[in-house]
Structure formats: structure tokens, C-alpha cells
Copies of this chain bind each other. A is one copy, B any other.
């Protein structure tokens, strides 16, 4: 290969990478500034209210600062104050699903050393399996959608019929966005009913979950012993995660194929130019 040309191409790639890094950094700094201005005042206000409440509470019960500190540290901060069992089979299954889906709300985490060790080994083996699984099911979903859209496009409804009967990747992306949209809107409604969240909070929860961020500020199945007493709702919660991530895996699949195609086309063009 022409060394000059290759050098030029590497430089171009370096510039592309560098600008992406700078973009991300600027995006992070901007986000930080906005969140600071949005959340800091409420945080300050809440802290003041809280400290006031604690002050009152301590006065009521004639409790010293040290005693309250002990209460806080030993009884509550350790996060053990869960009336639900988190580690019975249902809870453990929920934990494993959240870990392998990379969501990890963190509402329950192993407390024993052996549990942590097993957790490390479990995810090191399990994450590749689950990623390949989502990827594979996502590919199948793409196939199924392609087939369905094809049927839709070739059916004559009254006098209307699609002119272009081939199914493009754009059609698939539109179908998947539509599916995600419907899934988020309906699932959020169900979550808002069962968990007592506002509809907006349930939508926020759905986004945070399906992006696999999983802050854990909203965690389903923590109330009313749902895990033990309402297996249908519990199954729905896990199915919501699985379905959502599968649809997203389908989109990623299309995107990767698209990028790889662009790459190989670029390489072809390069070769053509070199031959001239």
C-alpha cells in the first residue's frame, strides 16, 4: 500500500477520534453545568428540611448527636433494612437477570465474600452468553419484522397498495422505533399502576432501564411482596426488560452492519483510487 496515503488515512482517523473525544468532553461539561443548576437548589433545600427534621426528632426523643449518628450508620445506612427477602429464589433470579443485562439497579447486592466472588465469576461467564443471546434473538427479530413488513406491503387494502414492495433497513428501523415507543408507553402505564409511580416517573424508569443505566432510584417488585405473591407481574417486569433489550439489540445489529458496509465500501474506494 502507498505509505503516504496510509499515513494520511491514519491521520484522518486520529483527527476523527480526537474530535469525538473533545465532543464527548464538551457534552459532559455542558451536562454537568445544567444538572448543577437544575438539581443543586432542590438538593440544598431538601438537605435543610432534612436536617431540621432530624433536629426536631432528636429534641423530641432527647437523643444526642452521637446516638443519632449510630442509628443512621448501623441501622439504616448499611441498606439492610429491607422487609422483603431479596435473596430467595425469585429475588436471586431477578438479581441475576439485572446483572447479565448490565442494568444492575443495586437494590440488592451480595453481602458475603463468597457471594461477591461467585458474582465476579458468574458475570464473567454470563455476560458474553447473554450478549450473544440478545444479539442472536435480535437478528431473528429483524428477520421476522422483514417478513411481516413484506406481507404488509404486498397486501392490497381496498384500493391502496405500496409501490415499493422491497423492505429496506430504514423500514426496519422505523418498525423497531415504533415497537420501542409502544412498549415504553404501555409498560410504563402498568408500572405506574402496580408501583404507585406517576406516569412520568414510570417513563423515566423505562428509559433508565432500557438504556441499561439502571440507577436504581425506581426499582419494581419491591412492594407488597410482589416477587413472592404476584408471579405474573414479576414475569411481566422481567419480560419488559428482555423484550426491550432485544428490540434495541436488533437496532444495534442493523447499525453495525451499516457501519461495516460503509467501512468496506470506503476501503474499496481507496483501492480504486490507488489503482488509478
- Interface residue ranges, A against B (CB under 8 Å): 10, 13-14, 16-17, 20-21, 23-24, 27-29, 31-36, 38-40, 42-44, 46-47, 50, 53-54, 57, 61-63, 71-72, 74-77, 79-82, 85-93, 95-97, 99-100, 102-106, 109-120, 122-127, 129-130, 132-133, 136-137, 139-140, 143, 200-201, 203-204, 207-208, 211-217, 256, 260
Q: How many copies does the complex hold?
A: 2
CB distance from A17 to the nearest CB of B (A): 4
User: Measured between alpha carbons, how far is A76 from B17 in the docked complex, in Å?
Assistant: 45
- Identify the closest chain B residue to A97 (Cβ): B28
Would A213 and B102 count as touching, CB distance under 8 A? yes
Would B32 and A96 count as touching, CB distance under 8 A? yes
Inside 8 A of A75's CB, which chain B residues have their CB?
50, 53-54, 57
User: Measured between alpha carbons, how far is A95 from B38 in the docked complex, in Å?
Assistant: 13
User: Measured between alpha carbons, how far is A28 from B235 in the docked complex, in Å?
Assistant: 14
Would B211 and A110 count as touching, CB distance under 8 A? no
Q: What are 23 contact pairs spanning A and B, CB under 8 A?
A: A17-B133, A17-B137, A17-B140, A21-B137, A27-B130, A31-B122, A31-B126, A32-B96, A34-B92, A34-B122, A35-B96, A36-B88, A36-B92, A38-B110, A39-B87, A39-B112, A40-B88, A43-B85, A43-B86, A46-B111, A116-B204, A123-B213, A127-B211
